[in-house]
Amino acid sequence: MLFCALIFTDQMALQTPDTSMTKNYRISAFFPLILLIVLGFSLPARSQTDAGEGETLYEDAVCVDSNVGEFCMELYPESAPETVENFLAYISSGRYDDTIVHRSVPNFVIQAGGYLANPLGTAIEKDPVVPNEFSRSNVRGTVAMARLGGQVNSATSEWFVNVVNNTQLDFVDGGFTVFAEVISGMSVVDAISNLPRSDQRGSLGGAFGELPLTDQDSDGVDADDVVLINRVYVTDVIVNDSDIGGGDNGGDGGSGGVTTTATYSTNSQSFSLPVYVGDSLYRVIMQLNSNFSGPVFRVDTTRIFSVTDKGQETATMDLDAGTLSIPSMTVNGKVYTDLQLELVEYETLSFRLTSFTRAAE
| Contact (CB, 8 A) for 163 and 112 | no
Please state the domain extents for the chain: 4-44+261-358, 57-234
| Contact (CB, 8 A) for 28 and 356 | no
User: What's the pLDDT at 259?
Assistant: 60
Give, in degrees to the nearest 5, the angle at Cα 59 between 55 and 61.
Answer: 100
User: What's the pLDDT at 30?
Assistant: 36
User: What's the pLDDT at 53?
Assistant: 61
Q: How far apart are CA 21 and CA 40, in angstroms?
A: 34
When computed from its CA atoms, the radius of gyration of the chain, rounded to whole angstroms, is: 21
User: What's the pLDDT at 274?
Assistant: 83
For the segment(s) 57-234, the CATH number from 3.40.50.150, 3.40.50.1580, 2.40.10.120, 2.40.100.10 is 2.40.100.10
| Contact (CB, 8 A) for 159 and 205 | no
User: What's the pLDDT at 330?
Assistant: 79
| Contact (CB, 8 A) for 152 and 173 | yes
User: What's the pLDDT at 219?
Assistant: 78
- Start-to-end Cα distance in the chain: 23
> Could you tell me how far CA 205 lies from the centroid of its own chain?
28
Q: How far apart are CA 1 and CA 7, in angstroms?
A: 10
User: What's the pLDDT at 307?
Assistant: 67
Cis peptide before 119 (omega within 30 of 0): yes
User: What's the pLDDT at 212?
Assistant: 96
Mean pLDDT in order along the chain per 10 residues (361 residues): 39 29 36 33 35 73 89 95 97 94 96 96 97 94 95 97 94 95 91 94 95 85 90 82 47 44 76 87 87 91 70 85 92 84 94 87 56
Residue type, 51: A
